[in-house]
């Protein structure tokens, strides 16, 4: 039980948050029609990656 609690509290929540963010990004790209619009893809990259650097 201790190992499960440790893994859940230290890793599971981070993984859930990362999966949620990825899902949100996919939704945004789909709404922006990034498959056909290179400008949409560029803007998405610029605004999502710019805040990381």
Could you tell me if 44 and 34 are in contact, meaning their C-beta atoms sit under 8 angstroms apart? Answer: yes
Q: How far apart are the first and last CA of the chain?
A: 39
Residue 5 assigned as binding residue: no
What domain range includes position 3?
1-52
Say which residues have a Cβ less than 8 Å from residue 25's Cβ, sequence separation at least 6. 44, 48
DSSP string, 4-26: HHHHIIIIIHHHHHHHHHHHHHH
Report pLDDT for 7.
86
Name the domain count of the chain: 1
Report pLDDT for 51.
61
pLDDT tens, 29-51? 888 888 888 898 888 888 887 76
């Amino acid at each position: 039980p201790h190992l499960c609690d440790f893994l859940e509290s230290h890793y599971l929540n981070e993984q859930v948050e990362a999966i949620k963010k990825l899902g949100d990004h996919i939704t945004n790209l789909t709404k922006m029609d990034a498959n056909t619009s290179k400008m949409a893809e560029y803007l998405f990259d610029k605004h999502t990656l710019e805040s990381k650097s």
